[in-house]
Copies of this chain bind each other. A is one copy, B any other.
Amino acid sequence: MDPFANLSPLDHRYAVEDPAQFARLSQYLSEAAYLRYQLAVEVALVKGLVKMGIAPAAAAEDIERAAQLVTPAEVAAEEEKTHHNIRALVNCLQRRVSESHRPFIHWSATSMDILDTARALQYRDATRELIAPALGELEQCWIEQTRRYAHTPQIGRTHGQHAVPVTFGFALAWYVQRLGDRMETILSAARRLRGKMAGAVGAYNAASLRVSDPQQLEAVVLGELGIKPALISTQIVPPEAVLDWAHGLVSTFGVLANFADDMRHLQRTEIGEVGEAFTAEQVGSSTMPHKRNPWNFEHVKSLWKEFLPRILTVYMDQISEHQRDLTNSASGRFLPEVAAGLVQAADRLTRFSRRLVVDETRMRANLERSANLFVAEPLYILLAAAGHPSAHEAVRRLTLSPQAGKESLAELALADEELAPYLQRLSATERELLHQPEQYRGLAVQKAQDIAAHWAGQLQQWQSTGWGLSA
């Protein structure tokens, strides 16, 4: 099959651009991967039946061997006859085991026992092997940049307007915090993914026929797979566990998109504080040879716009009639794409965050051009602290003077009859600060370092415990 014949950019353009990444994603998120998990559940079921004394030990070995031979193509071919995917899978297994073991395959299970459990396993493993590592690498990179630029002065911006100073490391720490928090959300949701082995309507009707404690059978089977049963199922596991996980994914995407947005704006020609690294061969525009566009940051925001709305599908899939209708089936098959998109976005951001070109000179220059104005804040605060009853209003009026911006508001205040007396009451340090407004950055440095330290520690702890997700 020609990848360019594919319909999804995930399977053509992005697959071709980075084949190694595609291979990693495919290992957990493709149809082949899903089938592999389904087979694992069928095998675990028979192992459970052995442990419960329903099936002979040989049956488990027989089916485990068979499961390794079943291919996606074979199941697809069988499904053309059965029009039922799990029955097709079972048929493919059964024809590979001895006749006496056949009855134990899929015994007492309904398709959704296999499918919902397989999805839970797949999403858990994708979290551990793909998502958490990709996000962790990005977090690590941002932590390093936060530390590197902890002291680099930058003007704080609110409403796109110069506000008061921070440091670039402080600005990055905001993202370190938010990404770390989202990782927690995803990991916690992944830990709450649940499986089931409760039969057609969730009441263990079939298993009850021969098993005295079918909930034990369920626990044993799922224990084989390292996952817990839902407290109650119908034909399906309660859909909220997967929904919470999906919420974790798309809300993480929002943090990535916010970062990307900031970077592309800081790269605006007039601002020029950061830039994407550019190779010597790279073309910025097919007609404007001088262009250096922040296209990777734009790309991440664009992916966010593609994948964010898909959360709606997962919310809509909460509704399933009675003990289940199938209207969540096709839609559920597209969810792995969201995970793939998030990993791609994270990988790209890591790559370009690492090579981020930071123009510290420009940063400082931008800050300085507003120094005459943003001194308004410390001026007002100190005037108030010195007892001026309407300091904000007084300074606001100063900013309307024709000299505002050209001269420092601090100078204008000193020359102001009404304000000067209050300024006399300030300490020397305070007065000095009014003349070195770039020092007016509060705890920016400390916060940057604290946040970096906090999440560096958390990352290490997660990594040393396999993200708290059983393998």
Q: Which residues of chain A from 1 to 49 have any CB-CB distance to chain B below 8 Å in the complex?
A: 1-13, 15-17, 25-26, 29-32, 35
Which residue of B9, B165, B210 contacts A333 across the interface (Cβ within 8 Å)?
A: B9
Distance, CA A285 to CA B110, complexed state (A): 7
| Chain B residues with CB below 8 A from A440, complex form | 205
- Judged by a CB distance under 8 angstroms, whether A62 is at the interface is no
Which residue of B11, B16, B331, B433 contacts A302 across the interface (Cβ within 8 Å)?
A: B331
- Given the interface pairs A108-B287, A206-B381, A283-B396, the reply to whether A103 lies near B7 with Cβ below 8 Å is no
Q: Is the CB of B262 within 8 A of A322?
A: yes
- Given the interface pairs A2-B1, A7-B29, the reply to whether A331 lies near B303 with Cβ below 8 Å is yes
Q: Is the CB of A330 within 8 A of B306?
A: yes
Interface string of A348-380 (1 = CB under 8 A from B): 000000000000000000100110011011101
- Judged by a CB distance under 8 angstroms, whether A415 is at the interface is no
Distance, CA A310 to CA B311, complexed state (A): 10
Interface centre among A87, A165, A310, A328 (most CB of B within 10 A): A87
- Please tell me which stretch of A132-140, A153-161, A220-228, A462-470 contacts chain B, meaning at least 4 of its Cβ atoms lie within 8 angstroms of it: A153-161
Interface string of A83-99 (1 = CB under 8 A from B): 11011001000100001
Distance, CA A331 to CA B83, complexed state (A): 34
Distance, CA A99 to CA B216, complexed state (A): 73
| Chain B residues with CB below 8 A from A319, complex form | 254, 257-258, 261
Q: Is the CB of A265 within 8 A of B206?
A: no
| Chain B residues with CB below 8 A from A11, complex form | 6-8, 11
| Chain B residues with CB below 8 A from A382, complex form | 209-210
Interface centre among A104, A178, A287, A384 (most CB of B within 10 A): A287
Distance, CA A114 to CA B107, complexed state (A): 57
Q: Which residues of chain A from 284 to 324 have any CB-CB distance to chain B below 8 Å in the complex?
A: 284-295, 298-299, 301-303, 305-306, 308-313, 315-324
- Judged by a CB distance under 8 angstroms, whether A243 is at the interface is yes
Q: Is the CB of B17 within 8 A of A31?
A: no
Q: Is the CB of B318 within 8 A of A161?
A: no
Give the size of the chain A interface in residues (CB under 8 angstroms): 196
Q: How far is the CB of A1 from chain B (nearest CB, A)?
A: 5
Closest partner residue, chain B, to A23 (CB atom):
B5
Which residue of B174, B240, B444 contacts A251 across the interface (Cβ within 8 Å)?
A: B240
- Judged by a CB distance under 8 angstroms, whether A443 is at the interface is yes
- Judged by a CB distance under 8 angstroms, whether A149 is at the interface is no
| Chain B residues with CB below 8 A from A308, complex form | 312-313, 315-316
Q: How far is the CB of A28 from chain B (nearest CB, A)?
A: 10
| Chain B residues with CB below 8 A from A454, complex form | 231
Q: Which residues of chain A from 213 to 256 have any CB-CB distance to chain B below 8 Å in the complex?
A: 214-215, 231-232, 234-235, 238, 240, 243-244, 247, 250-251, 254-255
Distance, CA A440 to CA B330, complexed state (A): 31
Distance, CA A76 to CA B15, complexed state (A): 11
Which residue of B31, B207, B444 contacts A9 across the interface (Cβ within 8 Å)?
A: B31
| Chain B residues with CB below 8 A from A262, complex form | 321-322
Closest partner residue, chain B, to A205 (CB atom):
B442
Q: Is the CB of A326 within 8 A of B293?
A: yes
| Chain B residues with CB below 8 A from A210, complex form | 381-382, 385
Distance, CA A443 to CA B387, complexed state (A): 60
- Judged by a CB distance under 8 angstroms, whether A51 is at the interface is no
Q: Is the CB of A381 within 8 A of B108?
A: yes
Interface string of A254-277 (1 = CB under 8 A from B): 110110011011011111000000
- Given the interface pairs A8-B6, A107-B385, the reply to whether A76 lies near B16 with Cβ below 8 Å is yes
- Given the interface pairs A238-B181, A291-B158, A442-B205, the reply to whether A337 lies near B8 with Cβ below 8 Å is yes
| Chain B residues with CB below 8 A from A451, complex form | 231-232
List 13 additional A-B contacts (Cβ < 8 Å) besides A83-B295, A103-B387, A240-B251.
A6-B10, A102-B389, A158-B200, A163-B323, A177-B231, A181-B240, A199-B287, A206-B377, A214-B442, A231-B451, A262-B321, A290-B395, A302-B331
28 contacts between A and B (CB under 8 A): A6-B10, A6-B11, A7-B10, A86-B286, A100-B387, A104-B384, A109-B286, A111-B285, A158-B285, A158-B293, A160-B265, A160-B322, A161-B294, A165-B203, A166-B203, A177-B231, A181-B240, A182-B240, A203-B444, A251-B318, A255-B318, A258-B320, A265-B265, A289-B399, A295-B329, A302-B332, A303-B330, A309-B309
